[in-house]
Amino acid sequence: MTSENTKCAPFRLNPWFSERVWGRHDLRPWYDSTGTDALVGEAWLTGPQCIVATGALAGQTLTAVAAELGERLLGAVGAGECGCKDFPLLVKLLFPSDKLSLQVHPNDEMAQEMGHARGKTECWYVLEAEPGATIALGVRDGVTVEDVRKAIASGTMENLMQQVPVSVGEMIFVDAGTIHAIGPGLVMLETQQTCDITFRLYDYGRPRELHLELGLRAMRTKTAAGKMKPRAMDGFTRLIEQKYFVVDRYDLPAGGETVVPSDGAGTLVGLGGEAVVQSEGGETVDLLAGQAVVLPVENGSVRVKSAVGASFVRCFAPACSYA
């Protein structure tokens, strides 16, 4: 527990590993062990069930911490029209060894009609890519909803998709309503609205449930999905800036340090090397590859230092996202 008179320091979360039929047994070098013999497709870094590993809040879930701290953790994002009191961004690492299903996610309006807090707009940052790796991203020009329905029935849905080659360092935006699928041979950092609603439209004959009518209702034939051009900023690179999230990349040399501002509910995710996050109050927490350090809004900016060099991203929800 934290006192109302004491600012909550940044804290690190333990990843939560999600089993998927398209996942992997071995997630090295990111993780030495997942704690399961099952195929793991996703490491949730800021999932509701992730456990706090450091500081006064250690042992609690992120959901419990958000409920306890409210706007101290979330800032204005926690006071939006949806009444959400959870962490607004779900950040994951994805490890596909096979094609994901062709799927689509609802926008806020549709999700809220179904009784959920928000929809699911997301983005993918490519961390590893084998030669020839691709993603399916949106339907081809001229394809209609009825075309999609018929192609699903005939088993030819892949023929209607735009296949996009991807390489390390690229950022892909996937707005709600875009039919999509990630292919094998990739490791991706996904930043998305905290929502786990997926309508599976086509799964290559695998015996899993499909959600045809809901998926067709959610899909859009024209979306804003696509590769995003990075922007050089003062001391970092802005990979994407959208309504629901902003993702920035920092690369520190050995002995380097930087100040990361507080612009909304957010987290730092280690990509390589090691660093230390220091709060304004002097508290420190290690930033490690494949793990997230949550930055409570009330704490303000933090200083990140690295003796050996480090790369990390900051993912945050702008304060206006849900206001």
pLDDT tens digits along 58-69: 999 999 999 999
Query: Is position 322 within any domain?
Result: no
| Whole-number pLDDT of residue 4 | 59
Question: Where in the sequence is the domain holding 309, given as residue range(s)?
Answer: 231-316
* Sign (positive or negative) of CA dihedral 279, 61, 239, 19: positive
**271: pLDDT confidence band, cut at 50, 70 and 90?**
very high
Q: Are residues 145 and 47 located together in one domain of the fold?
A: yes
At residue 88, does pLDDT exceed 70?
A: yes
pLDDT (mean) for 249-270: 96
Query: Is position 51 within any domain?
Result: yes
Final residue belonging to a domain, choices 228, 246, 270: 228
Q: Are residues 200 and 304 located together in one domain of the fold?
A: no
Cis before 15? omega within 30: no
Q: Are residues 166 and 251 located together in one domain of the fold?
A: no
| Whole-number pLDDT of residue 85 | 73
Q: Are residues 82 and 198 located together in one domain of the fold?
A: yes
**Each residue of 284-304: pLDDT tens digit?**
999 999 999 999 999 999 999
Query: Is position 82 within any domain?
Result: yes
pLDDT (mean) for 178-186: 97
At residue 237, does pLDDT exceed 90?
A: yes
| Tokens representing residue 120 in the block | 């699911």
| Whole-number pLDDT of residue 2 | 58
**1: pLDDT confidence band, cut at 50, 70 and 90?**
low
The mean pLDDT value of the chain amounts to: 94
Q: Are residues 195 and 241 located together in one domain of the fold?
A: no
> Which is more confidently placed, 51 or 319?
51
Note whether 212 and 133 are within 8 A (CB): no
| Whole-number pLDDT of residue 7 | 79
* H or E segment and range at residue 192: strand 186-193
pLDDT (mean) for 218-230: 98
Among residues 12, 72, 200, 314, the one annotated as catalytic is: 200
Query: Is position 1 within any domain?
Result: no
Q: Are residues 76 and 201 located together in one domain of the fold?
A: yes
| Whole-number pLDDT of residue 280 | 87
Note whether 171 and 125 are within 8 A (CB): yes
Final residue belonging to a domain, choices 228, 255, 270: 228
| Whole-number pLDDT of residue 323 | 40
| Whole-number pLDDT of residue 291 | 98
| Whole-number pLDDT of residue 76 | 73
CATH of the domain at 83: 2.60.120.10
At residue 78, does pLDDT exceed 60?
A: no
Q: Which has the minimum average pLDDT: 90-94, 131-135, 199-203, 318-322?
A: 318-322
Q: Are residues 187 and 301 located together in one domain of the fold?
A: no
Final residue belonging to a domain, choices 212, 228, 244: 228
Q: Are residues 168 and 298 located together in one domain of the fold?
A: no
| Tokens representing residue 153 in the block | 């029935």
Q: Are residues 75 and 209 located together in one domain of the fold?
A: yes
At residue 322, does pLDDT exceed 80?
A: no
Query: Is position 297 within any domain?
Result: yes
Query: Is position 175 within any domain?
Result: yes
**Count of domains in the chain?**
2
| Whole-number pLDDT of residue 41 | 97
Q: Are residues 182 and 137 located together in one domain of the fold?
A: yes
Query: Is position 146 within any domain?
Result: yes
Q: Are residues 308 and 194 located together in one domain of the fold?
A: no
At residue 272, does pLDDT exceed 70?
A: yes
Cis before 29? omega within 30: yes
303 is a catalytic site residue:
no
pLDDT (mean) for 162-166: 98
At residue 178, φ and ψ (nearest 5 deg) are -85, 120
Query: Is position 251 within any domain?
Result: yes
pTM score, whole prediction: 0.94
**Closest Cα partner for 125 from 249, 235, 252?**
249
**Closest Cα partner for 84 from 60, 100, 54, 63?**
63
Q: Are residues 141 and 16 located together in one domain of the fold?
A: yes
**3: pLDDT confidence band, cut at 50, 70 and 90?**
low
| Whole-number pLDDT of residue 18 | 97
